[in-house]
Structure 1
C-alpha cells in the first residue's frame, strides 16, 4: 500500500491506514499551518511512522510539533518512538495504561506466549508481529502531557475526551476552523478479544458529537463522512 497524504479540508490532511483488517493499521491525520503541525496518532510501528514521515515531506507538510493520541491501542501509538521532538498529548487514563504497556517484554516470543494463554489475542498479536521490523527499537511511550476533559493546543486544535466502550481514553480531535472532527476509534465496539456478540458500534455516541459547524467526520479505519452522510449512517 502506498502511504500518502491527501487534503481533506482547511488545514487537515489524511493518510489512510491499511484497508486489509488483518494488518490492523490505523490512519493518521496532520493539521498544518504556520503555527506548527499537529499529528493525530503515531502510526502502528516505528517503520510505519517513518513511511508517514516520507509522505509528510512529499506533501510539503511540516514535521509535527505535537502528537495527539486518540487512545492507547497499539496501532495508534507504537510509532511514537520514531517521532523526534514532539510533545505527546493524551488522556490521563490512557497514560496509566501505556505506562503498564511499556513494561511488557514485547517480542515475537512474548506475543506467542500471550496467544497461547489467550487464543482470542491471536489476530491482534499476529498483526503486531507483522508490523514491527525491529523489537529492539520499539518503545511504548505514554503521553508527556495529559488532560482530563479537554485541552486546546496553541494552534486552536481541540482534544476532547469522549470515552466509550472501545477504550476508556477515547479522544476526538476537533479542528473548528476547518470543520473537521477526527473520531479515532471512539464509536467502534470493543477490540475483538474483549468483544461479545451483543457489542455493536456506538452510534449514539456519534449522534452526540454531530455538530452543524462540523462538515467532516473521520474515523481511523473508515473513509471520511460528510455531516449528511454521518447523520444518515446513525439513523440507519
Structure 2
C-alpha cells in the first residue's frame, strides 16, 4: 500500500481491487498548514496501513478527516485517526449515531447475515476487516455542513446526495484541478439494490466542469475530464 501523486496537492492510496474486500481508496490533500484526509479507511487496521503509507511518502499528518459518505468502508477507520476534526454532511450524524449504537462483533455480524442473507457480502467483508472490536467505535462527524463548505486550506465540499447514500459529498481541490467523487454516482448498496438500479451518469454529467481535470471515485482508477465525459456520455 502506498500513496501516489495525482496532481497538485492531491495524493491517492488505492483500496483493494478485490470487490469481496469492499475496501475503498483514500486521498490526501497535502498542505503544510494541515493536510485533509478524504475518508478514513474501512477499519482501524486499514487506517494504520494508510498512516504508514503517509509516513513513507513523507506527507504531513492530516488535520481534517472528510467523509464522502457514511458507509462503513469509508468511516470505520476513523477511531484510529486521533486529533483530527471529522467533517461530513449533516445527515451523516444521525445515520452514524445509529450505526454506533449497534453491538458490533463477529457474532452480531453472523446473526445479521442469518436474518438477512442479502447482507452477506458486506457483513462478511466486515468480519475480515476488523480483527478486534475492543477499541472499535463508529464516529459521526464533528463538523457538519448543509450544502457547501470550505476548509481553511482551500478544500471545498459539496453535498450531492443521490441513490448510493443520502449524505454523498464531493470534495473539490480547485488549485489542483481534482474532484474526488467518493461513491456518489454508484447504485445503492447491494442489499438495497433493485434490478433497475445502475450508475447515476446524469449526476456525473452535472458535476463535469472544465476547471477540473481529474475525477476520482473510491473504487476505480482516476479519470481525466475527457475520460469522464466519455464514460458519462456527455
TM-score, structure 2 as length reference: 0.99
Correspondence for 1:196: 194
Pick the aligned partner of 1:111 from 81, 87, 109.
109
CA RMSD between the two structures: 0.7
CA distance in 2, matches of 1:151, 1:201: 26
Tell me the alpha carbon deviations over residues 163-206 of structure 1, each in whole angstroms, 9 at most, x when there is no partner. 00000000000000000000000000000000011001000000
Identify which range, 220-229 or 30-39, moves more after superposition.
30-39
Q: For 1:94-173, what aligned pairs fall within 5 Å after superposition? A: 94-173=92-171
Dislocated runs of 4+, deviation >3 Å: none
CA distance in 2, matches of 1:138, 1:223: 30
CA distance in 2, matches of 1:42, 1:137: 16
CA distance in 2, matches of 1:68, 1:187: 18
Correspondence for 1:233: 231
CA distance in 2, matches of 1:89, 1:209: 21
CA distance in 2, matches of 1:154, 1:11: 14
CA distance in 2, matches of 1:79, 1:106: 14
Where does structure 2 lack aligned partners over 5 or more consecutive residues?
A: none
Pick the aligned partner of 1:13 from 7, 11, 17.
11
TM-score, structure 1 as length reference: 0.98
